[in-house]
C-alpha cells in the first residue's frame, strides 16, 4: 500500500495580541578574515557563539510600521526605515504581499554597535514575531533566506548555539559543543562602525606590505584546535585557540581597548579578545567564580562603561509565550 501524504497543516491565521521574540547576542570565537573581494565583502571563517545577553522584540498590530526602543542605548538606535527590525518586517510582508502594519517594540539589552550583533538580533526577532503575528508561517529555510539577504550575521541570530559561518558569514554549519563556557563582556563607551573596522583591517594589511585583496591574503579556514575545544567543552583549550583578525583594526581605531584587554587578563581571564568588530571586549573564564573575579577586576579598572557576566552557547531567536 502506498504511504499516504501527511495532511497539510491548516493555514494559521493572524493573531491580534502582541507576540514577543527573545534573541541572543554573539561573540566570535574565531573570526578569520580573507582578502577584500571585488564585491566589497570579505570571505570569512567565522565561528559564532550565542551568549546570554538578549534583546526582546514585540510585534503588535498597528495601522502602519512603527518602532519604539527602550534600554540604556535606546537613543543610538534609528527609528526610521533603516532600523534592521523594520527592514526585516518589510521584507517578510513584501514576500507575502501584505501590508507591514505592525508596532515593533525593542527592549534592548545588547550594546549598540558593540560587535555583538545587536541589530542582527533585532532583525531575526522581528522576523519571527511578525511571522507569528501575521500568520505567514514562513518555512524555516525561507526565514533564513530573508535573514541572509538582510545581513551577514542575521542567520546566526535565528539559529543560535555555535556555528561556523562561511562566505561573508551567512552560510552556516551548526557545530557541536561539549558544555557551557563562562564569559565576561566589557562594554565600551560609544560604538565602532563595522564597515569602518573592515576598512581599517584592509588599510593595515596594505600598510604592512602584504596587500589586502583576495589574491594577497590566504583563504580563511576554521581552526581544528578551536573546533575540538568547542566539541569537548574545554575552556582552557578554547582560550588557547580563540582569534580575531579584526582585533588589530579595532585596537588601531580605539587604542584604549588594549587597557581593557589587559585589565581582564590581569583579573584572571583565560582569554581576552575584542568581540567581532568591537569595541566590546570578551573574556573567557574557567568557571562562574572566575568570571565574577574577572568582572570585579574589570569594573575596578575603570577601563570600560559596564561589565556583564554570562554564559553560552544559548539557543537562537525564540518566541516568548506569556
Ligand atoms: P555586528 O556585530 O553584527 O557587526 P554590531 O553589534 O557592531 O554589529 P549593531 O548593534 O548591530 O552593531 O549596530 C550597528 C548599527 O546598525 C548601529 O550603529 C545602528 O545605526 C544600526 N541599526 C539599525 N537597526 C538597529 C537595531 N535594531 N539595533 C541596533 N542598531 C541598529
Question: Over the stretch 37-74, which tens digit does the pLDDT of each residue have?
Answer: 999 999 999 999 999 999 999 999 999 999 999 999 99
245 neighbors 259 (Cβ within 8 angstroms): no
Q: Give the C-alpha separation, 185 to 195, whole Å.
A: 22
113 is in an annotated binding site: yes
- Whether the predicted pLDDT of 12 surpasses 70: no
Cell of 80: 526610521
Q: In a 3-state reduction of DSSP, which class is residue 216?
A: coil
311 is in an annotated binding site: no
Task: Convert the pLDDT of each residue in 158-217 to its tens digit.
Answer: 999 999 999 988 899 999 999 999 999 999 999 999 999 999 999 999 999 999 999 999
Q: What share of the chain is helix, strand, coil (3-state, %, to 5)?
A: 35, 30, 40
Q: Strand runs (DSSP E) across 222-270, as ranges? A: 243-244
CB of 169 within 6 A of ligand 1: the answer is no
**Which pLDDT score is estimated for 138?**
97
**Which pLDDT score is estimated for 4?**
52
Percent of the chain with pLDDT over 70: 96
> Distance, CA 120 to ligand 1 centroid (Å)?
7
Cell of 220: 580563511
**Which pLDDT score is estimated for 3?**
46
**Which pLDDT score is estimated for 169?**
86
Fold topology of 19-175: Ribosomal Protein S5; domain 2 (3.30.230)
Q: Give the C-alpha separation, 114 to 280, whole Å.
A: 5
112 is in an annotated binding site: yes
CB of 85 within 6 A of ligand 1: the answer is yes
Catalytic residue among 43, 122, 153, 202: 153
Task: Convert the pLDDT of each residue in 82-109 to its tens digit.
Answer: 999 999 999 999 999 999 999 999 999 9
CB of 118 within 6 A of ligand 1: the answer is yes
Task: Convert the pLDDT of each residue in 258-307 to its tens digit.
Answer: 999 999 999 999 999 999 999 999 999 999 999 999 999 999 999 999 99
279 preceded by a cis bond (ω within 30 of 0): yes
Helices (runs of H) and strands (runs of E) counted in the chain: 10, 12
Q: Give the C-alpha separation, 155 to 149, whole Å.
A: 9
Q: Whose CA is nearest to atom 1 of ligand 1?
A: 117
Fold topology of 181-312: Alpha-Beta Plaits (3.30.70)
The atom number, within ligand 1, closest to the CA of 110 reads: 10
Dihedral of alpha carbons 58, 63, 65, 70, sign: negative
Q: Give the C-alpha separation, 27 to 13, whole Å.
A: 37
The atom number, within ligand 1, closest to the CA of 69 reads: 27
> Distance, CA 290 to ligand 1 centroid (Å)?
30
Domain residue ranges in the chain: 19-175, 181-312
Residue 60: how many CA atoms within 13 Å on its side-chain side? 10
299 is in an annotated binding site: no
Residue 286: how many CA atoms within 13 Å on its side-chain side? 8
> Is 26 a known active-site residue?
yes
**Which pLDDT score is estimated for 15?**
80
| Mean pLDDT across the chain | 94
DSSP secondary structure, 78-122, as one string: --STTSHHHHHHHHHHHHHT----EEEEEE--SPTTSSS-HHHHH
Q: How many residues does the chain have?
A: 322
Q: Give the C-alpha separation, 162 to 64, whole Å.
A: 36
Q: In a 3-state reduction of DSSP, which class is residue 131?
A: helix
CB of 194 within 6 A of ligand 1: the answer is yes
178 neighbors 232 (Cβ within 8 angstroms): yes
Cell of 172: 552556516
Contacts of 96 (CB under 8 A, 6+ apart): 134, 136, 138
Amino acid at each position: 500500500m502506498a504511504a499516504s501524504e501527511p495532511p497539510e497543516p491548516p493555514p494559521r491565521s493572524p493573531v491580534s495580541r502582541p507576540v514577543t521574540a527573545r534573541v541572543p547576542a554573539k561573540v566570535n570565537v574565531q573570526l578569520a578574515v580573507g582578502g577584500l573581494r571585488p564585491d566589497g565583502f570579505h570571505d570569512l571563517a567565522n565561528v559564532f557563539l550565542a551568549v546570554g545577553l538578549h534583546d526582546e522584540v514585540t510585534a503588535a498590530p498597528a495601522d502602519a510600521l512603527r518602532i519604539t526602543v527602550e534600554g540604556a542605548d535606546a537613543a543610538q538606535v534609528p527609528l526610521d526605515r533603516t532600523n534592521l527590525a523594520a527592514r526585516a518586517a518589510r521584507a517578510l510582508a513584501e514576500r507575502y504581499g501584505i501590508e507591514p502594519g505592525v508596532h515593533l517594540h525593542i527592549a534592548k539589552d545588547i550594546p549598540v554597535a558593540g560587535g555583538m550583533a545587536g541589530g542582527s538580533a533585532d532583525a531575526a526577532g522581528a522576523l519571527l514575531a511578525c511571522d507569528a503575528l501575521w500568520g505567514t508561517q514562513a518555512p524555516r529555510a525561507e526565514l533564513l533566506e530573508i535573514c541572509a539577504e538582510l545581513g551577514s550575521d542575521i542567520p546566526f541570530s535565528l539559529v543560535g548555539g555555535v556555528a561556523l559561518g562561511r562566505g561573508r558569514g551567512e552560510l552556516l554549519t551548526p557545530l557541536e559543543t561539549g558544555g557551557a563556557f563562562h564569559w565576561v563582556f566589557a562594554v565600551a563607551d560609544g560604538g565602532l562602525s563595522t564597515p569602518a573596522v573592515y576598512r581599517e583591517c584592509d588599510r593595515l594589511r596594505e600598510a604592512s606590505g602584504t596587500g589586502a585583496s583576495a589574491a594577497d591574503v590566504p583563504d580563511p579556514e576554521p581552526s581544528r584546535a578551536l573546533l575540538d575545544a568547542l566539541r569537548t567543552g574545554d575552556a582552557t583549550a578554547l582560550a588557547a585557540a580563540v582569534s580575531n583578525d579584526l582585533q588589530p583594526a579595532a585596537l588601531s581605531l580605539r587604542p584604549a581597548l588594549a587597557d581593557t584587554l589587559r585589565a581582564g587578563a590581569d583579573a584572571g581571564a583565560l582569554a581576552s579578545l575584542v568581540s567581532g568588530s568591537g569595541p566590546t571586549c570578551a573574556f573567557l573564564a574557567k568557571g562562574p567564580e572566575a568570571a565574577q573575579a574577572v568582572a570585579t577586576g574589570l569594573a575596578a579598572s575603570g577601563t570600560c562603561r559596564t561589565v556583564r557576566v554570562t554564559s553560552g552557547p544559548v539557543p537562537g531567536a525564540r518566541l516568548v509565550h506569556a
